[in-house]
Amino acid sequence: MTVGNGAEPIRMAQYGTKHGHAAGKLQAMLDSQDVEVVGLFEPDSERRAEVEGSGGPFGQVRWI
């Protein structure tokens, strides 16, 4: 995969989902042609279980 200027995209992961804008930041990364989202990590197992299957951006990524 390459971006508009022919360069490779920046590979990024997100750590955490609890902050109020976590879903929005993840969606912005998913929408960017300059970014390849490689995964999402949530250290709180209860929170992960709550959001992992909830759809939206959290349902579009590989969980680490």
How many Cα atoms occupy the beta-carbon half-sphere of 26 within 13 Å? 25
3-state secondary structure of 2: coil
Residue whose structure tokens are 């992992």: 52
The pTM of this model reads 0.85
Structural domain spans, the chain: 10-59
Model confidence pLDDT, tens digit, residues 9-63 = 999 999 999 999 999 999 999 999 999 999 999 999 999 999 998 889 999 999 9
